[in-house]
Structure 1
Amino acid sequence: MMGIEEIKRIIPHRPPMLLVDEVSELAHRRRLTGGLTVAGTGPMPISLLLESWGQAALVLIRHDRPMPDVLTDGVPVAGVFERIRYGRPVLPGEKVTHRVTMDRLIADTAFLRGDSVVGDEVVLTVGRLVGAMRSAESLRAAIAAGSAVTA
């Protein structure tokens, strides 16, 4: 349904940190199925597996409001990940499929959950992700002030 070029028009990530290369199902602001064929010479680091799932979630959140440039379109911020569980390592050449469900979207704050599978085997479970959009200016101001990002 959606390939890497269309994904790049929706989210700001670019290779080598673009970690979603296809979307096979997309139900507007409800759910997404997409994934990545893992490259490299060793198992995918668990931090990158979670990042890949998060990028799939971002495609779901922003598919109807593309944001390819963080300086003008806003910066996606993962505020909270809860109830994360990892299964076995994902190996090079394997296709990991992310399944993301959006529970709520309030303004620019989204509440999501889901999992990632290789074949029928669950390799990641995300109990909840709370993500938000922030302007580049608000993040710069928070960093300059040495404070947490709240606006």
Structure 2
Amino acid sequence: MTDTTHPETETPKAAPTMLDINEIQRILPHRYPFLLIDRVIDLTPRERIVAIKNVTINEPFFQGHFPNLPIMPGVLVVEAIAQAGGALLLTEVEDRDQKLMVFTGIERARFRRTIIPGDQVRIEVEVKSWRMNAVRMEGKAFVGDKRVAEATVTCQLIARAGTQKTEPEANGSSPEA
């Protein structure tokens, strides 16, 4: 890992190295049908994460992508990489209920093989730089030992809407008045 200046938050207690779906849902805001990681099997705080996505024929995107030839859309593989990275980063944020990790860029996305129902996708994400609230990560997705996709993603930690403290107006009244 390089360029490591971390957010100005207190470091929470040590992150567990594995997370089940309930723990993932406590960390990430995503829900069905857009939560794209099912389990975390390895986590090294501030460095890397390995997550699993079990792909089933019941995924809603298979209805239209493509009828009679179900293939997981590549953009959702990149989203799964970003969600795994978000889970890694948000484990390090004390007040994560008030924060949101958002995409700011996708680079070098490559898709090497299709992902179909029945595949178990292993997503490996490594932090490359972390400056203040901006993070750059490299992600790779595998089915078995074959790399199926990769992308470099950048994201930023922002306050969730409604959680920022509002300064009183110049006349001394607050916006709520």
The aligned length equals 134
Q: Which runs of 5+ in 1 are unaligned?
A: 139-151
Query: Where do 1:1-150 residues align within 5 Å?
Result: 1-40=18-57, 41=62, 42-65=70-93, 69=97, 73-126=98-151, 128-137=152-161
Could you list the structure 1 runs, at least 4 aligned residues long, displaced by more than 4 angstroms after superposition.
66-69
Cα 1:66–1:87 shift into 2, 3 Å: farther
Q: TM-score, normalised by structure 1?
A: 0.82
Q: Percent identity?
A: 30
Q: 1 CA distance for matches of 2:89 and 2:19?
A: 15
Q: Is the 8 A contact 1:25 1:32 kept in 2?
A: yes
Q: 2 CA distance for matches of 1:12 and 1:67?
A: 13
Q: 2 CA distance for matches of 1:44 and 1:66?
A: 34
Cα 1:79–1:39 shift into 2, 3 Å: same
Q: Is the 8 A contact 1:9 1:68 kept in 2?
A: no
Q: 1 CA distance for matches of 2:136 and 2:71?
A: 29
Structure 1 or 2: more helix by fraction: 1
Q: Is the 8 A contact 2:78 2:150 kept in 1?
A: no
Q: Which residue identity is paired with 1:13?
A: H
Q: TM-score, normalised by structure 2?
A: 0.70
Q: 2 CA distance for matches of 1:49 and 1:31?
A: 18
Provide the secondary structure at the position in 2 that maps to 1:2: coil
Bigger Cα Rg? 2
1:68 Cα deviation from its structure 2 partner:
6.5
Q: Which residue identity is paired with 2:27?
A: I
1:102 Cα deviation from its structure 2 partner:
0.3
Q: Which residue identity is paired with 1:47?
A: V
1:109-129 Cα offsets, whole Å, 9 max, x none, are 111102000001111111x21
